[in-house]
Structure 1
Amino acid sequence: MKTSRFFLAGLSSVALLGTSACVTDPNTGEQKISRTVLGGVGGAVAGGLLGGVIGGKTGRIIGAAAGAAGGGYVGYRMDQQIKELKEQTAGSGVDVSETDGGEAILVNLPNGVTFATGSYTINQTFRQTLDNVAANLVQYPNSLVDVYGYTDTVGSSDSNQRLSNQRAQAVSNYLTSRGVSSSRIRWMGFGETRLAVQTGDNVAEPLNRRVEIKIIPFDQDDVNAARANQ
């Protein structure tokens, strides 16, 4: 009986998506399925499609929800947030894109302008860009924020791991200092274990030295599901 109910519910959701789930993406002008509708017909299901989150989502969503607006956030407003982030970081070298099959946002901070070589002190000239990112996160509170640090393979693996930790923590602390709730943010360094490109020619190697900010939206259905799973 449970299988039948889930099957019928799935068919109903698909039917709804087929009739009323299209919106215009403000970044491209193209018609696409609205994640607002996905959140409305089954936020817990849509949330299950999200990629990995540091420490798991359940406890973090409950903590972050205290200062968030809830409701139908995942969807058009996420597309709008991407558009605004691109505008706010234009010309800085920051790359903003969708990730996790379009269910999260990835903000890639370039190493060369974010930090000096071997340092985890954020460059003074880059702080205005991070201020803009932080202001955007404050404006859109319905999300978890993961900060990831990565290095290249130059130097020892231990020093690379330590530097990636320090850089991820530095960006996380900076965002918190600019008003982003600490309950939303976690950080982790991956050292040289997750290379963006496989190279040793020191030409493409700088692409491996980066910090990424992953923004994982949630809605009221995700909050309810998290509370139910406590």
Structure 2
Amino acid sequence: MKKTIIAVTLSSLIISGCASNASNSQKGASIGAVIGALAGKGTGDNDKSRYVWGAALGALAGGAIGNYMDNQEEAFREELAGSGVEVYREGDNIRLSIPGNITFSTGSAAIVTNFYPVLENVAKVLNRYEKTKLSIEGHTDSVGDANYNTQLSIQRANSVANYLQGTGVATNRLQTLGMGESQPIASNDTAQGRQQNRRVELRVIPLQS
């Protein structure tokens, strides 16, 4: 049965940098796409995506994008060193992969205590680099009903958004997505693999003009 992904319909705005041998700063110069102004925080219940990107309050142009994201990537690596969070550079975007053992208990959308310092360090960098938006993606393993897992992943993404908002990250910079069990990064046949799949991924995306 085909699994359904419930998500805010803004994924088309996640723009990757151009594939080339150029530096990240040089790649930024070739990007001319514009991220449009969209509605702010929604009003749905906790089991629905409640955050969508709002109107941009500033943007980066041309070659400034790559350099800005270079500096932000370095800041994330410094703040999150030793936390278990993996930092990936994908064109002009930054992806933070946060493993399940430091995020949520099985079957729960309540943030575990060990996750607080990680989110606080993420917020510290986001608040320093305000010309970016954040896509928060919740993922689960394949245990249980697929529809339940999708709803759980949305609730987890919203929990992260709520916490970041409480640390000063502007609501109009946040988008939440519930991916459910649809994008595993390991086998669901083992306990270790299932733990890897129970994760949150944060995609940091530059505002462009």
When normalised by structure 1's length, the TM-score is 0.69
* Cα separation, 1, equivalents of 2:86 and 2:130: 21
* Cα separation, 2, equivalents of 1:212 and 1:98: 13
Question: What CA deviation, in whole Å up to 9, does each residue of 1:14-51 have, x standing for no partner?
Answer: xxxxxxxxxxxxxxxxxx734444444x431xx48xxx
Aligned residue for 2:182, secondary structure, equals coil
Question: What CA deviation, in whole Å up to 9, does each residue of 1:81-115 have, x standing for no partner?
Answer: 1121111111211111112xx22100111111111
Matched, 1:146 2:124: no
Matching residue's letter, 1:153: S
CA drift of 1:189 comes to 0.6
User: Quick one: which of 82, 86, 91 aligns to 1:91?
Assistant: 82
Question: 2:15 is matched with which residue?
Answer: none
| Structure holding more helix per residue | 1
* Cα separation, 1, equivalents of 2:25 and 2:191: 43
Question: 2:200 is matched with which residue?
Answer: 211
Q: CA RMSD in A?
A: 2.3
Matched, 1:82 2:73: yes
Matches within 5 A, 1:160-179: 160-179=149-168
Matched, 1:114 2:92: no
The verdict on how the C-alpha distance between 1:160 and 1:93 changes in structure 2, with shifts beyond 3 A counting, is same
Matching residue's letter, 2:112: N
Matching residue's letter, 1:43: I
In the alignment of these two chains, the number of paired residues is 175
Matching residue's letter, 2:65: V
Question: What CA deviation, in whole Å up to 9, does each residue of 1:40-77 have, x standing for no partner?
Answer: 4x431xx48xxxxxxxx4224994531x3645541122
Aligned residue for 2:177, secondary structure, equals strand
Aligned residue for 2:192, secondary structure, equals coil
* Cα separation, 2, equivalents of 1:116 and 1:201: 17
The higher relative CO (CA closer than 8 Å, separation ≥ 6) is in 2
Matched, 1:59 2:37: yes
Matching residue's letter, 2:87: V
Larger radius of gyration: 1
Structure 1 residue ranges (4+ consecutive) displaced by more than 2 angstroms after TM superposition: 32-40, 59-65, 68-73
The verdict on how the C-alpha distance between 1:217 and 1:60 changes in structure 2, with shifts beyond 3 A counting, is farther
When normalised by structure 2's length, the TM-score is 0.75
Unaligned runs of 5+ in 1: 1-31, 49-56, 223-230
* Cα separation, 1, equivalents of 2:113 and 2:85: 16
Question: 1:182 is matched with which residue?
Answer: 171
The verdict on how the C-alpha distance between 1:64 and 1:43 changes in structure 2, with shifts beyond 3 A counting, is farther
Question: 2:186 is matched with which residue?
Answer: 197
